[in-house]
Amino acid sequence: MNIYQKALEERKQQHLLRTLPLPPDGIDFYSNDYLGLAQSQSLRFAIENQCSNTPKINGATGSRLLSGNSEYAESVEREIARFHHAESALIYVSGYMANLGLISSLATRETTLICDELIHASLIDGARLGHAQKIRFKHNDLTDIEQKLKKTNQQKIVLVESVYSMDGDLCPLKEIAEICSKHDALLIVDEAHALAVYGENGEGLVQSQGLEDQVFARIMTFGKGPGIHGAAVVGPAWLKDYQVNFSRSLIFSTAPSYHHFASISAMYKHLPKCGAERDQLKEKIQYFVQKRNDSSGQWLESNTQIQSLIVPGNKEVVELAEKLKKAGINALPIRKPSVAEGSERIRFCLHSYNTKEEIDLLFGVLTSP
């Protein structure tokens, strides 16, 4: 047995082994398809219609810097920039690659990254690939972030998420933006779990609070609420030029296909039409929170579509997930190292298409012996 097989065996013993599951039958409390757009027939037809207007070529044939760029791709990026009230947008093949490329390219030796301790792994990996000094601040702690910002005279960049993927709580964006302005720091916000869900037209949390002019860059991920795939970095015009020159995950990746760009364009045209789905999601969140507040258990405080029940221990949290699955409810156990030891949890993702009866069933299973 080599060292890699031993590592797998250790994960088995620790109830940490990951596998690639097929989509299960049962009630969906686990996916990121918050508005049901991944299964939307109307969005699918809009994408097919948009594809009919693109050049008839299957693959991109190369990176954006070689043969993979087009006027169509740049027109979609201009469309995204207008939607988000930004000067520019640059599309990546995924949210992970966007965070990796953006952060690693900005993380120079003359830079200090000030990171919320709960930022996503993709932001962490981007920071690791760069050469910047990295400082973490306590989650959503305004006093701590200000103290950390005072400790450096280098170029400062603050990294946060608008909706945190594991705890489901919101970033105090207004207050952090003010602190960043006070200390001449650039603010980058990952909007992965806010795009499509927040804002009158699904623009995200930053725009819904009127903060787009106070945020240096936003990462808009399309694989969650928007129901498709890919991501875009929106920000000042020069930032797009900078990434084209220094973002390795963009420079050395084959460009998205025309179909991919068409899907993104169709999705952005579709988002303003999803007001009913956003309202339905809000209703389900309110109902879930009411049931949560009336129940026992170590629940994290959240008023978003992400709700987490702390179940310490990898073995224990997996057993509860299996109990839910036997009742026809699909919710995933989140274990270390994805979360800190002792904060293992079942993460419940709410959707516009969940019903109150499904939520009632969930809490019935949780309270049963």
Q: Which residues contact 357 (CB under 8 A, 6 or more apart)?
A: none
User: 348-365: per-residue pLDDT in tens?
Assistant: 999 999 999 999 999 999
Q: How far apart are CA 319 and CA 237, in angstroms?
A: 50
Q: What are the φ and ψ backbone dihedral angles of 332, each rounded to 5 degrees?
A: -95, 140
User: 317-358: per-residue pLDDT in tens?
Assistant: 999 999 999 999 999 999 888 888 899 999 999 999 999 999
B/e letters for 255-290, b = 16+ CB within 10 Å, e = fewer, are: bbbbbbbbbbbbbbebbeebeebbebbeebbebbbe
User: 84-97: per-residue pLDDT in tens?
Assistant: 999 999 999 999 99
Q: Which residues contact 195 (CB under 8 A, 6 or more apart)?
A: 202, 203, 204, 220, 221, 222, 224, 225, 226
Counting as low any pLDDT under 70, the low residues of the chain are none
**Amino acid of residue 19:** T
The residue extents of the domains of the chain are: 13-35+274-367, 43-272
Torsion of CA 255, 261, 264, 270, to 10 degrees: 180
pTM attached to this predicted model:
0.95
Q: What is the pLDDT of residue 15?
A: 80
Nearest to 335 by CA among 318, 353, 357: 318
Query: 43-272 — its CATH code?
Result: 3.40.640.10
- Half-sphere exposure in the Cβ direction for 194 (13 Å, CA): 27
The CATH superfamily assigned to 13-35+274-367 is: Aspartate Aminotransferase, domain 1 (3.90.1150.10)
